[in-house]
Chain A
């Protein structure tokens, strides 16, 4: 069974600074997808960024980028120039290529200090 682990229950960053959220996963699959979701206080789950495991190039979406280390089964999220609106719960998620079931990590609460 696949597992996703986020070892940081809470993180804090100063506005305009950079923060990295960690995620590791365990799978025997070679082809899969990884995601970071943001859940602000409104509860809405918002997709931040996705990564295909067969791509070596790290995904980037504006201020959000990932460091995908397939051999280490690590998928961290870097948020640059942090903004107050980035404060939220962040969830790492895994999906095998041949299935549609998302497995989520336990989440990291990110606080942004003005």
Chain B
């Protein structure tokens, strides 16, 4: 069974479109994250949700809107897509806001290409 899953794995779309990426975890974790990995492989956190509440919101354009319908899901909606949004987006989850290890389990990533 996949611990953290994302759909779709690949997404190709035109500039100006609106798209969503879905994430689900079956680990029973209460904290979920979105990361962006750019073309140079640099990974940066975008959002963090704990028990469906927004905890971290890094400097991300407000075209990006995360939505957490329940603790097991954190979806990412992107409006008015731009070329610079092309990247790999990773979802992750962990148990708690901190903890002894705070290990984050990552999904397989969604490669978004904006044409």
Contact = CB atoms under 8 A, between A and B. Distances in A.
A95 interface: yes
A89 B100 CA distance: 26
Contact of A33 (B48, B50, B92, B101): B101
Contacts of B40: 106
Interface residues of B, number: 28
13 contacts: A33-B101, A39-B41, A43-B109, A52-B101, A89-B41, A91-B43, A98-B98, A100-B55, A100-B98, A100-B104, A101-B56, A104-B44, A107-B43
B79 to A, nearest CB: 25
Given A33-B101, A44-B109, A50-B103, A101 B48 contact: yes
Contact of A99 (B42, B90, B98, B111): B98
Closest CB pairs A-B (n = 8): A45-B106, A104-B43, A43-B109, A107-B41, A100-B97, A44-B108, A101-B45, A95-B102
B94 interface: yes
B53 to A, nearest CB: 13
A97 B96 CA distance: 12
Interface string B81-115: 00000001010101011101111101011010000
Contacts of A95: 102
Interface string A85-107: 00001010001011111111011
Contacts of B43: 91, 104, 107
A42 interface: yes
Interface string B30-69: 0101000000111111001010000110000000000000
A50 B107 CA distance: 19
B90 A97 contact: no
Interface in A47-74: 47, 50, 52
Contacts of B101: 33, 50, 52
A52 B103 CA distance: 12
Contacts of A103: 45
A102 B42 contact: no
